[in-house]
Amino acid sequence: MKTAEIARRFLAYFEKNDHTIVPSASLVTDDPALLFTVAGMVPFIPYLSGDVPPPYPRAADNQKCIRTNDIEEVGKTPRHGTFFQMLGNWSFGDYFKRDAIGYAWELLTMPEDEGGLGFDPADLWVTVYEEDDEAYDLWREVARLPEDRIQRLGKDTNYWSTGLPGPAGPCSEIFFDLGPEYGIDGGPATDDDRYVEIWNLVFMQYEITNVRSKYDFDVVGELPAKNIDTGMGLERIAFIKQGVDNMYETDQVRPVLDKAVELSGRTYGADHEDDVRFRVVADHVRSSLMLLADGVTPSNDGRGYILRRLMRRVIRSMRLLGVERPTFAELFAVSRDAMAEAYPVVAEDWARISQYAIAEEETFLRTLAAGSALLDDSLAQTKASGGTTIPGSEAFLLHDTYGFPIDLTLEIAQEAGLTVDRAAFDTLMQEQRQRAKADARARKRQLADTSVYRDLRARGETVFTGYTDLQTESTVLGILVDGMSVDRAATGQIAEIILAETALYAESGGQVADKGIIVGPGYELDVLDVQKPVAGLISHTVEVTSGEVGVGQPATSVVDAENRRGARQAHSATHLVHAALRDTLGRSATQAGSLNRAGYLRFDFSWGQALSDDTKTEIEEIANNAVRESLEVTTRVLPLDEARSLGAIALFGEKYGDKVRMVDIGGPWSRELCAGTHVSTSAEVGLISLVGESSVGASNRRVEALVGLDAFRQLAAERALVSQLTSTLKTPREQLPARIAELTASLKAAEKKIAAYEAKALADRLPALVEKATAVGPHRVVAESLGTASSADDVRSLALQVRDRLGADATVVALGAELNGRPVVVVATNEAARSAGAKAGVLAKAAATALGGGGGGRDDVAQGGGTDASALPSALAAVKGALNAA
- Helix and strand numbers (H, E) in the chain are 26, 35
Q: How many CA atoms lie within 13 A of 309 on its CB side?
A: 17
Helix H or strand E segment including 237: helix 234-241
Helix, strand, or coil (residue 56): coil
Residue 678 is labelled as binding a ligand? yes
Please report the sign of the dihedral spanned by the C-alpha atoms of residue 452, residue 458, residue 459, residue 465.
positive
| Dihedral class, residue 219 (left if φ above 0, else alpha if ψ from -120 to 50, else beta) | beta
> CB–CB of 688/624 below 8 Å?
yes
Q: Where are the beta strands (DSSP E) in 314-424?
A: 389-390, 419-420
Burial code (b: 16+ CB inside 10 Å, e: under 16) for 665-687 equals bbeebbbbbbbbbbbebbebbbb
Q: At what angle do helices 392-402 and 406-415 cross, to 10 degrees?
A: 130
Q: At what angle do helices 736-764 and 709-729 cross, to 10 degrees?
A: 60
**CA dist., res. 681 & res. 289, Å (int):** 39
How many beta carbons lie within 10 A of that of residue 113, not counting itself?
7
How many beta carbons lie within 10 A of that of residue 734, not counting itself?
8
**CA dist., res. 815 & res. 817, Å (int):** 7
First-to-last C-alpha distance (Å) of the chain: 82
**CA dist., res. 274 & res. 282, Å (int):** 12
**CA dist., res. 214 & res. 621, Å (int):** 59
> CB–CB of 61/47 below 8 Å?
no
Q: How many CA atoms lie within 13 A of 410 on its CB side?
A: 10
Residue 674 is labelled as binding a ligand? yes
Helices (H), 18-71: 45-48
Residue 284 is labelled as binding a ligand? no
**CA dist., res. 581 & res. 572, Å (int):** 14
DSSP state of 470: S
Q: How many CA atoms lie within 13 A of 93 on its CB side?
A: 13
**CA dist., res. 434 & res. 442, Å (int):** 12
Vertex 350 angle, CA 344 and 356, to 5°: 135
Q: How many CA atoms lie within 13 A of 546 on its CB side?
A: 8
**CA dist., res. 133 & res. 152, Å (int):** 9
Whose CA is closest to 128, among 86, 160, 162, 95? 160
Residue 399 is labelled as binding a ligand? no
Q: Give the residues across from 855 on adjacent strands.
A: 864
* Binding positions for Zn(2+): 571, 575, 674, 678
* Binding positions: 571, 575, 674, 678
